[in-house]
Structure 1
Amino acid sequence: MAWTGRHRAFVVEEYVKGNKVVERFLGFIQLERHTAEYLTGVVIDKLEKLGLDIENCPGQTYDNAANMSGRYAGLQARIRALSSTAIYIPCANHSLNLAVNFACESNLEATDYFSTVQSIYTFFSASTQRWNLLKECCKCSLSNNRDEKSVVRNEAKALHNKMDTFETALLTLIWQRILGRVNATSKT
């Protein structure tokens, strides 16, 4: 089971056929709560509806949240109590994401850089007109565009000034390489 948002999860079946690993999407699950006890019931109910015996499910993988990964009362521990073969393996992609996130949060320059990137995304995604200008490779400058309100022009100018620094250019190159490797590892 994996999360797709705050109120939904999806279930994937993975098995070996010949010498290939096969993954099948089994459906979405609507969630009302996130407690391990509730999630255990949801998982068991979904397996029963799919006609799958929990004893034939030798592995389980979730994110690293305590309600999922908790050793004594998490979902994985509760499933393990029902099936001794249901070995828990933390989701590698989620673990990688957490490691990168913690690394970024421990560095002031990285935190500031990603805050700027988030601000740029928020600024452009808040307006279809600005988004279209961005998609057109910014052929015109929002900070000089008289069709925009002065507050928008000022915000665009501030973001432009923040982007137009050596530090931002250098961090963009560095993070492009790092995140490129993270992406390749994640796909693997």
Structure 2
Amino acid sequence: MRETARRRGLDAGVPVWAADDVTVETVRGYVSVDPSDEVRLFRVRVHIPDFSWEIGGTDDLALLVDVIAAWRDGVPLDVLSARFPFLELGELAEALARGEPTAAQWTGLLSSGFGPGGLLRRLHRDDVLRTAFPTVTHGAVRLRVDPMNAASRQVLVRELREGCYEVARLPGAAWVEVSDTGLVSWLRAALDVPRGPA
């Protein structure tokens, strides 16, 4: 990729230490290339900490370099889509480009039926908690204050049984049991989000 980019007069941002896999930092999150083991195919993924999604793939190394360089240069998504038809830039990629991935992630999770739907709906009803970026991991919901910063304040919450939850502040805190009535207050305090109507 580095050599192809050099020959094409582009900067694809490939770090000098990159060997087998390539991850490039951009203003729109990280972009990585995941080569297929079975066929010649370079899958392009976009990442924010602890979350990634595939936006397309190509077997053409020159096109791959072009798309990564264009992504790094901040080329608008509609231009990228027109120029690189193999890209599938959905709502989340558009929201990331606008700097607003949180609302799109909530919409995607709530409409997918994936994960603990009742808990997700419960958290989303709170006007403060829905400003945190949600992901689902091992049946628990992770809420992060800043989706672009892996060290940002974050919590995990999972439902133990009706009306009872376990919560943990990350990194490394022990799980704590909280009741349904105390859940929102605990999460807001752990995320250090201003208190408001629950």
Same structural fold, with TM-score higher than 0.5 when normalized by the shorter chain: no
Q: Relative to total residues, which structure has the larger helix share, 1 or 2?
A: 1
- Return the TM-score normalized by structure 1: 0.25
TM-score between the two structures when normalised by the length of structure 2: 0.24
Is the strand fraction higher in 1 or 2? Answer: 2
